[in-house]
Amino acid sequence: MTELLNNREYKKEQLKNLLKKIHEGEEVNKLKTEFKAVLSSISPLEIPLIEQELVKEGISAKEIAKMCDIHVELFREAVSGTDELEEKDLPEGHPLRTLYEENHEIMKDAEMLNLYASTLVNTKDDLMRKEILGVLEEIVGNLRKVGFTHYNREEMLIFPYIERRGLTAIATVLWMKHDEIRFMIKHLTELLRKREEMPWEEFVTKFKEKANEAAFALTDMVFRENNIFYPTVKALLSEGEWKAIRFQEDEFGYYKVQPKEWNPDVEPLHPWQIDPTLNAEQLLGLPKEVQQALKGQPLEFDKAELKREDDIDLGTGYVNVEELKAIFEALPVDVTFIDKDDRVRFFSPGERIFTRSLSVLGRPVHLCHPPKSVHIVNKILEAFKEGREKESTFWIRMGPKYVYIKYVPLFDDNGEYLGTLEITMDIAPYKKIEGEKRLLDWRN
Amino acid sequence: MTELLNNREYKKEQLKNLLKKIHEGEEVNKLKTEFKAVLSSISPLEIPLIEQELVKEGISAKEIAKMCDIHVELFREAVSGTDELEEKDLPEGHPLRTLYEENHEIMKDAEMLNLYASTLVNTKDDLMRKEILGVLEEIVGNLRKVGFTHYNREEMLIFPYIERRGLTAIATVLWMKHDEIRFMIKHLTELLRKREEMPWEEFVTKFKEKANEAAFALTDMVFRENNIFYPTVKALLSEGEWKAIRFQEDEFGYYKVQPKEWNPDVEPLHPWQIDPTLNAEQLLGLPKEVQQALKGQPLEFDKAELKREDDIDLGTGYVNVEELKAIFEALPVDVTFIDKDDRVRFFSPGERIFTRSLSVLGRPVHLCHPPKSVHIVNKILEAFKEGREKESTFWIRMGPKYVYIKYVPLFDDNGEYLGTLEITMDIAPYKKIEGEKRLLDWRN
């Protein structure tokens, strides 16, 4: 025991010396090799204890954070040496490279979460606790974003390509695990928010346990992705597929990285446009684990055609006229469209708040209004056409209905005025809604 | 003066005798000729006075109402003898015949309004006042419907046909007068509602004045329509046009009449499908007043084509793909459509509550959801396909947004399942809306 303590005392002294150097302004990068030597001799379990002792001796939490960074980086280098190779293969801005880069950040933050949670347990000083809690809040707040950036991009943009090729099981398992992690991090947020509601010891024990679990799950997911999922999609997806993915990534956002433009000279290929059959080369290029899993069960390629003969290409999908009519009828809003020449061109069918009949088609809008209010309709349209107004809203009570009316000018991609849309809806039902009703509450 | 009183006394006695016969159960129709003889000798101004005296002598308001009916009918026969001829020309269910028939009812109710308002002024008995007020409330309540049935059908279904032919002035003048009448009747409703808020004398004087005005305006409109507007449209509109009108009338409803089916063997013609030029026969068939008005000013026929080359016929209008995209983008709701095979087929473009990317197109819906809640999605779709559920709604808080999610199954005209529409919207803004903001409040 004494030996162990002495040993730790020695390591601590070494770390302290290094931290002093940082404190004195020496570049962290230059100290990396030295840190590496010291840290590699310390077990991960010891680190929080040592850090805690350093804190007691007056080293600030911020300086320790810098040490954490180095520690995590070293850890990452040790465990994911192979990924570096994969990553260097890929051009900057390639979606797969971005995913690898994000995984570095996730790994680092998971480790930070672990370290700070453990440090918190051993911190007695109130001010220090507060400081560490602040850092933890920031880390957990960041990690929540992993779910709707990194994981969401995989689930929404990449999974469809492997599902088409019959590898739905991989997608489903990963998504399930993603959701577990999302839930764990959400739970940590709640614990932090409710920390005043329980005794400190109870909170800190629970938090450390849950933080360790979450950090483990995050790290585990990085391994799964880097070693199985990414090599799989690398073997399967063509450049056109990656290009289609790249075009849509920005909508979801990224975890702590900002990928460059990447625009190879190929046609973007959406999931419904690919040939989903696997050739021998692709099969042999798959990670062994995936090859193993595929043995003995025939792959079910999804070859369903998206576009039908009579479909209208709306840019964000293909529907036929029958479906379009049904969609407009099912909308919880009624619309009437007047074209650039101020003539009624279309109204949505079905039961409406304000009755519209076919006779109105082609009618100039200034003839469709009570003469008394026509001048206002004309003024609104003028303001729309001149770009002075972006919308005009009105609301009136009509018996049990609370009718909300919205006028919006429409423009094409070149900014040319296309016409104006009138939208009417009964908002009375929405005013009565309280609380929440979630998908999982559904019963029939 | 004595003579006048004696004369009135005599007429009153005659009326009383007739009313007694009604009271004793004799058929009103049988007494018509006798009533006609008596009533024709009484000036309209005298009638309320006599009626009031009869009330004092114990004749109930209900019996007087029967007399009013006869009186109005006689009055109508006297003033609109020519319309009867017009009306008999037209087959049952023909929209123009319906309009003539409604005008009889409007005439009668306007006269009733007048009579009862005048009677009210002279009534001293509280119970009688209450009874008369009840009758007036009913009459005024009925007359409010003239605006959104009879007038609205003319404005929405018939005006477009004469506008196309360049007779916009007639349409505009009639609509302006319609609105004045709508306002007058609305005002009467308000007066009746607020009658406790002012002294009786003030109320009754005001009400009588306004009721007389409204009754006059209503009757005046009947004359204008019967003598100018209806002969005009009778001369101009073809059978196909009337057929198109007939098909759309039911949506608006009728004033105290229920027209029969009328379905001539011609193609329905909508305003944008007609040849709007007037031929000599049509011109000469117009009422003299209209011919006179048209002299000296060239008719501007509206020959604008509704359907363009690349238009999609949506049944309730013609739009091109560019306009459709812009419409979906401007909607205050986001939609995602999954087809009958449970595959995502379309989502509305633009900024959305739940991000959708092109990769989702063609993806089976059960692969688009977190594995944990997939079973519920499947159950909902099953209930939709089997017709057990008509919709499914959920609501969740998301930061400042209050997200309302609605799933609706879509069916074609034959009841075949087409797919399911997911609609999402932020209802937070609607929950904050209070009061009213009307078109006439608009300022920019």
Question: Which two three-digit tokens encode residue A34?
Answer: 């030295």
Per-residue pLDDT, A94: 97
Which residues are within 8 A (CB) of A216 and not within 5 positions of it... i.e. 6 or more apart? A110
Give the position of tokens 């810098």.
Answer: A66
Residues linked to residue B335 through DSSP beta bridges, in sequence order: B423
Q: How far is CA B46 from CA A256, A257, A270, B2, B40, in A?
A: 91, 92, 85, 15, 11
Tell if the CB–CB gap between B393 and A437 is shorter than 8 Å: yes
Q: Which residues pair with A424 in a beta bridge?
A: A334, A405
A83 at B interface, C-beta within 8 A: no
The reply to whether residue A339 touches residue B347, judged by beta carbons under 8 angstroms, is no
Task: Please tell us whether the domain made up of A313-431 is placed in CATH 3.30.450.20.
Answer: yes
Best probe of the A interface among B344, B405, B439, B444, by most A CBs < 10 A, is B439
B chain contacts of residue A332, beta-carbon cutoff 8 Å: 333, 406, 423, 425
Lowest mean pLDDT among A10-24, A284-298, A384-398, A425-439: A10-24
Question: Cα(A287)–Cα(A162) distance, rounded to whole angstroms?
Answer: 14
Residue reference for tokens 């005005």: B213
Query: Considering only CA atoms, which of A292, A297, A317 is closest in space to residue A307?
Result: A317
Cβ–Cβ < 8 Å for A369, A377? yes
Provide the pLDDT for residue A271: 95
Q: What is the pLDDT of residue B399?
A: 92
Query: CA-to-CA distance for A61 and B259, rounded, in angstroms?
Result: 86
Burial environment of residue B25 by CB neighbours within 10 A (0 to 12, 13 to 18, 19 or more)? exposed
Of A373 and A147, the one with more pLDDT: A147
Sheet of B344-347, strands arranged across: B344-347, B334-339, B417-426, B401-411, B392-398
pTM: 0.79
Residue with token string 């404005």: B155
Topology (CATH) of B80-249: Four Helix Bundle (Hemerythrin (Met), subunit A) (1.20.120)
Q: How far off is chain B from A234, nearest CA to CA, in Å?
A: 18
Q: How far apart are CA A356 and CA A134, in angstroms?
A: 59
Query: Which is nearest to A77 in space by CA: A26, A32, A138?
Result: A32
Instruction: Of B113, B82, B115, give the one whose Cα is nearest residue B100.
Output: B82
Q: Which of A180, A211, A182 is nearest to A195 (CA)?
A: A211
Contact B74, B39 (CB under 8 A): yes
Which pLDDT belongs to residue A312?
96
pLDDT digits (tens, 9 = 90+) for A54-112: 766 766 666 666 666 666 565 555 555 444 555 668 999 999 999 999 999 999 899 88
Distance CA B107, CA B48 (A): 17
Under 8 Å CB-to-CB from B375, ≥6 apart: which residues? none
Using alpha carbons, select from A395, A152, A58 the residue that is nearest to residue B354: A152
Minimum-distance CB partner of B346 among A160, A270, A316 = A316
Per-residue model confidence (pLDDT) at position A14: 78
- For residue A313, what are the contacts with CB-CB under 8 A and spacing of at least 6? A307, B321
Number of neighbours of residue B273 by Cβ within 10 angstroms: 18
Q: What is the pLDDT of residue A400?
A: 95
Q: How far apart (Å, rounded) are the C-alpha atoms in residues A181 and A214?
A: 6
Size of interface A-B (CB pairs under 8 A): 321
Q: Do B345 and A418 touch (CB under 8 A)?
A: no
pLDDT in tens, A324-336: 999 999 999 999 9
Question: 163-202 in B: which are within 8 Å (CB) of A?
Answer: 163, 168, 171-172, 175-176, 179
Residue B430 to residue A404, Cβ atoms within 8 A: yes
Closest CA–CA distance from residue B150 to any residue of chain A (Å):
14
Name the helix (H) or strand (E) containing B411: strand B401-411
Q: How far apart are CA A403 and CA A334, in angstroms?
A: 11
Q: What mean pLDDT is predicted for residues A144-152?
A: 96
Q: Residue B354: helix, strand or coil by DSSP? A: coil
Q: Where are the domains of chain A?
A: 80-249, 313-431
pLDDT average, residue stretch A175-193 = 96
Task: Give the separation between CA A246 and CA A20, rounded to whole angstroms.
Answer: 45
Query: What is the C-alpha to C-alpha distance for residues A157 and B268, in angstroms, rounded to an integer?
Result: 50
Question: Does residue A330 sit at the B interface (CB-CB below 8 Å)?
Answer: yes
Give the full edge-to-edge strand order of the sheet including A344-347. Answer: A344-347, A334-339, A417-426, A401-411, A392-398
- How far apart are alpha carbons B76 and B218 in whole angstroms? 13
Q: Which residues of A touch B308 (CB under 8 A)?
A: none
Task: Kindly report, residue by residue over A226-241, the tens digit of the pLDDT.
Answer: 988 999 999 999 999 9
Residues from chain A contacting residue B357 (CB–CB below 8 Å): 156-157, 248, 251-252
Interface test with A, best of B246, B363, B414 (most A CBs within 10 A): B363
Is the Cβ–Cβ distance between A424 and A331 less than 8 Å? no
Alpha-carbon gap, residue A132 to A354, rounded angstroms: 60
Is the per-residue pLDDT at A42 higher than 70? no
| Per-residue pLDDT of chain B in tens (444 residues, 90 and over written 9) | 455 556 767 777 777 777 777 767 777 777 777 777 776 666 554 565 666 667 667 666 566 666 666 665 655 555 554 445 556 689 999 999 999 999 999 998 998 899 889 888 888 888 889 988 999 999 999 999 999 999 999 999 999 999 999 888 889 889 999 999 999 999 999 999 999 999 999 999 999 999 999 999 999 999 889 988 999 999 999 999 999 999 999 999 999 999 999 999 999 999 999 999 988 888 888 888 888 777 777 778 898 899 999 999 999 999 999 999 999 999 999 999 999 999 999 999 988 998 899 999 999 999 998 888 889 999 999 999 999 999 999 999 999 999 999 999 999 999 999 999 999 999 999 999 999 998 877 775
Residue B16 contacts residue B38 (beta carbons within 8 Å): no
Q: Which of A157, A356, A214, A181 is nearest to B357 (CA)?
A: A157
A323 → closest Cβ in B179, B419, B427 = B419
> In one letter, which amino acid is A422?
E
CA atoms of A336 and A350, how far apart (whole Å): 12
* Helix (H), strand (E), coil (C) string for chain A: CHHHHHHHHHHHHHHHHHHHHHHCCCCHHHHHHHHHHHHHCCCCCHHHHHHHHHHHCCCCHHHHHHHHHHHHHHHHHHHCHHHHHHHHHCCCCCHHHHHHHHHHHHHHHHHHHHHHHHHHHHCCCHHHHHHHHHHHHHHHHHHHHHHHHHHHHHHHHHHHHHHHCCCHHHHHHHHHHHHHHHHHHHHHHHHHHCHHHCCHHHHHHHHHHHHHHHHHHHHHHHHHHHHHHHHHHHHHCCHHHHHHHHHHHCCCCCCCCCCCCCCCCCCCCCHHHCCCCCCHHHHHHCCHHHHHHHCCCCCCCCCCCCCCCCCEECCCEEECHHHHHHHHHHCCCEEEEEECCCEEEEECCCCCCCCCCHHHCCCEHHHCCCHHHHHHHHHHHHHHHCCCCCCEEEEEEECCEEEEEEEEEEECCCCCEEEEEEEEEECHHHHCCCCCECHHHCCC
- Of A275-289, A301-315, A384-398, B243-257, where does mean pLDDT reach its minimum? A275-289
Q: Are A330 and B408 in contact (CB under 8 A)?
A: yes
Average pLDDT over residues A13-21: 76
Q: 3-state class of B306 per DSSP?
A: coil
For B:103-122, CB contacts with A below 8 A are: none
What's residue B1's pLDDT? Answer: 44
CB A96 within 8 A of CB A83: no
Q: What angle do CA B154, B158, B162 make, to 5 degrees?
A: 125
Cβ(A358)–Cβ(A336) under 8 Å? no
Q: How many residues does chain A have?
A: 444
Query: Which B positions 360-389 lie with beta carbon below 8 A of chain A?
Result: 360-364, 367, 370-373, 376-377, 379-380, 383, 388-389
Q: Name residues 16-45 of chain B within 8 A of A (Cβ).
A: none
Using alpha carbons, select from B334, B326, B318 the residue that is nearest to residue A384: B326
For chain A, how far is it from start to end, CA to CA, in angstroms? 64
DSSP 8-state assignment for residue B388: S
Q: How far apart are CA A421 and CA A402, in angstroms?
A: 20
Q: Is residue B181 a contact partner of residue B217, using CB atoms and an 8 Å limit?
A: yes
* Contact predicate A71/A54, CB 8 Å: no
Predicted confidence at residue B418, as pLDDT, reads: 97
**A-chain residue closest to B306, CA distance:** A362
Give the separation between CA A100 and CA A226, rounded to whole angstroms: 7
Angstroms from B288 CA to nearest CA on chain A:
25
Residue B386, SS3 per DSSP? coil
